[in-house]
Amino acid sequence: MSDTILDAYNAAGGNKTAAAKALGMSRAAYRRAYAKAQEGAGIPQGPDVQIQVLRQQVSTLQRELFNREADKLEADEVRRGILELGQHVSTPPEWATDRKKFPYNHGVPSLFLSDLHFGEVVRAEEVFFANEYDSDIAEQRIQNTVDRAIGLTHEVLNDPVYPGIHLVLGGDNINGMIHEELIVGSDGRLMDQILGVTDILAGVIIKLIKVYGNVFVTGVPGNHGRATMKTWTKFTAATNCDWLVYQLLERFLTSHVKDGSLVFMCPPARDITFKVAGRAYRLSHGDQFRGGDGIIGPLGPITRGNKKKQATALGLPHDGEQYKTLLIGHFHTLMMMPHLIMNGTTKGFDEFSLANNFEYQPPQQALWLTHEIYGINHYMPVLCDDPAPRKDIPAWVEWKQQMKNPTEDRLAGIGSWVDHFPHGS
């Protein structure tokens, strides 16, 4: 049986979801069988197996997080007392700032993953068959996004040289349980969502390390992962499952953290400020901005809120919080500009979008490069799915002919009119 499990894994190209389908097993059952098969074959355990081994510890951690009294719940207490990670130190990696020691050609790439909503189910029949979504589709779209980002940075651009990659985790990693319809419209309970998305993101980080050498992870919590009725201004991170996912990733990938190839900047904060290639960024989920209209969408309140954030940063008694570009998700709409990058979603068009008559956007995520001199010099949206093929093959340029007659005929007609005198004069 172990050989069958491993053979199916290899035949599926390392995709556990596809291997499970080939064997007629559920994804969870296949993962357990795969973990046992690895142990029996003497294969080193990967991050997905580590997650299975630590499942009981995570259950304990969840009880600790959500059952303690609020006034005793401290993020540092969780890191040091439960996860044994030590106090958080927000230090950007040297390779992202030292141009001489870590050279690059086009810039430092940043890949924005947010609004994954792992665990949510979107039924095609409820959205005019424009989209569908579940945990298996979420995993495939995240993997597609990473593979295409690698392709864009290595195949589209000539002579790619990068010191590493910046991975932005903008929150709403899971569907959560903040509304009754989210509980009903999920294909996994809260623990399954936390462990499932952690498993996937661990694989993402490991692959990025293999391709780029170094990974700098910045992360903030969203609003879907919160464990409170409303988002708290106090203990925002420590009462949010997104922050828990980031801490689990740091724990599971400790070996890469120790060798310096992986740096986490996921403090217990709602907003964080950092620099990449000398450019200052502010990362926030985006749920602090409210309002908008049917013409410009959320751009109005975001622009006003961004100005307030920048004014607050300037007024602080210490330096270091000023920034040029705001990074947010939350609105499921991809928009990339020098001073604002708003991310899309892997979930895509859903029932909420349809009910509110929002504009359709395909599932997509943001990718860009930051250069020390040119700033953000490449904007590359990454589609999470293959686009639908066209029935026709359009010409590479087309235009509508404005005049029926060629220029020569038109000039000849004008000449004949000039030379014609109807009254013989």
Encoding tokens for residue 124? 């095609």
Strand-pair partners of 325? 281
Distance CA 181, CA 69 (A): 27
Torsion of CA 264, 268, 271, 273, to 10 degrees: -40
Based on the fold, state whether residues 36 and 119 are members of the same structural domain: no
Note whether 111 and 24 are same-domain residues: no
- Distance from C-alpha of 142 to C-alpha of 204, rounded to nearest angstrom: 8
Q: Are 66 and 37 part of one and the same domain?
A: no
Q: Is residue 409 part of a domain?
A: no
Is residue 412 included in any domain, yes or no?
A: no
What percent of the chain shows pLDDT beyond 70? Answer: 82
Q: Is residue 395 part of a domain?
A: no
| Confidence label for 162 from pLDDT (cuts 50, 70 and 90) | very high
DSSP 8-state code for residue 359: P
pLDDT higher than threshold 90 for residue 73 = no
Tokens for 116, please give them.
């994954």
Structural domain for 23, as ranges: 2-44
Mean pLDDT of 13-29: 80
pLDDT at residue 141 tops 60: yes
Mean pLDDT of 393-420: 75
Place of tokens 């590493």: 164
Give the position of tokens 């000449």.
415
Task: Please give the model's pTM, rounded to 2 decimal places.
Answer: 0.76
Q: What is the β-pairing status of strands 364-371 and 165-169? A: unpaired
Q: Which of 220, 205, 39 is nearest to 114 (CA)?
A: 220
- Residues 215, 107 share a domain: yes
pLDDT tops 60 at residue 37: yes
Q: Is it the case that residue 204 has pLDDT exceeding 50?
A: yes
- Please report the pLDDT score of residue 264 as a whole number: 95
Q: Are residue 60 and residue 40 in the same domain, yes or no?
A: no
In terms of Cβ atoms closer than 10 Å to its own Cβ (0-12, 13-18, 19+), residue 353 is buried
Residue 298: per-residue pLDDT: 86
d(CA 404, CA 30): 67
Q: Is-contact 360 131, C-beta < 8 A?
A: no
Residue of 189 and 419 predicted with greater confidence: 189
Residue 423: inside a domain: no
* Residue 4 neighbours by CB distance under 10 Å: 12
The answer as to whether 302 is a domain residue is yes
The dihedral sign for the CA sequence 112, 118, 123, 126? negative
Residue 194 makes CB contacts below 8 A (sequence gap 6+) with 58, 62, 174, 241, 244, 245, 248
Instruction: State the pairing for strand pair 215-219/165-169.
Output: parallel
Q: Residue 272: what pLDDT? A: 95
Residues 6+ apart with CB under 8 A from 85: 79, 247, 250, 251
Give the C-alpha separation, 201 to 195, whole Å: 10
User: Are 39 and 59 in the same domain?
Assistant: no
Residue 69 confidence (pLDDT): 43
Contact call for residues 219 and 236 (beta carbons, < 8 A): no
328-379 pLDDT, tens per residue? 999 999 999 999 999 999 999 999 999 988 889 999 999 999 998 999 999 9
Other beta carbons less than 10 A from residue 152's beta carbon = 19
Residue-level pLDDT at 18: 82
Indicate if 63 and 200 belong to the same structural domain.
Answer: yes
Is the residue at 417 inside a domain? no
pLDDT of residue 328: 98
pLDDT for the residue numbered 105: 84
Strands 325-328 and 279-284: parallel
Query: Do 61 and 245 touch, CB atoms closer than 8 A?
Result: no
Predicted local confidence at residue 53, as pLDDT: 52
Q: In the predicted model, is pLDDT for residue 96 greater than 70?
A: no
Q: Is the same domain home to 145 and 31? A: no
Q: In this predicted model, which residue has the larger pLDDT, 26 or 284?
A: 284
397 in a structural domain: no
- Read off the pLDDT of each residue in 37-53 and give the average, rounded to a whole number: 54
As a whole-number percent, the residues of the chain with pLDDT over 90 amount to 52
Inside any domain, residue 221: yes
Q: For the residues 169-192, what does the mean pLDDT come to?
A: 91
Are 21 and 120 found together in one domain? no
- Tell me, what CATH number does 161's domain have? 3.60.21.10
Residues 176 and 242 in one domain: yes
Query: Looking at the structure, do residues 65 and 39 belong to the same domain, yes or no?
Result: no
Q: Round to whole Å and give the CA distance between 98 and 382.
A: 28
Tokens of 2: 């172990």
Q: Which comes out higher in pLDDT, residue 302 or 294?
A: 302
> Picking from 95-99, 100-104, 393-397, which range would have the lowest pLDDT averaged per residue?
95-99
Top-confidence residue, 379 or 3: 379
CB 40 within 8 A of CB 55: no
Q: Give the pLDDT confidence of 401-414 residue by residue, as tens digits.
A: 665 666 777 777 77
Per the structure, the count of domains in the chain is 2
Residue 22's pLDDT is 87
Dist CA 397 CA 304 (whole Å): 40
What digits encode the pLDDT tens for the residues 205-249? 999 999 999 999 999 999 999 988 888 888 888 899 999 999 999
> For the purposes of burial, counting CB atoms within 10 Å of the CB of 350, is it exposed (0-12), middle (13-18) or buried (19 or more)?
buried
User: Taking a C-beta distance cutoff of 8 angstroms, is the pair 323, 376 a contact?
Assistant: no
104-108, 265-269, 304-308: least confident range: 104-108
Q: 68: pLDDT confidence band, cut at 50, 70 and 90? A: very low
Same domain, 66 and 27: no
C-alpha torsion sign, points 367, 370, 371, 373: positive
pLDDT value for 71: 38
Confidence at 20, pLDDT banded by 50, 70, 90: confident
Average pLDDT of 376-389? 92
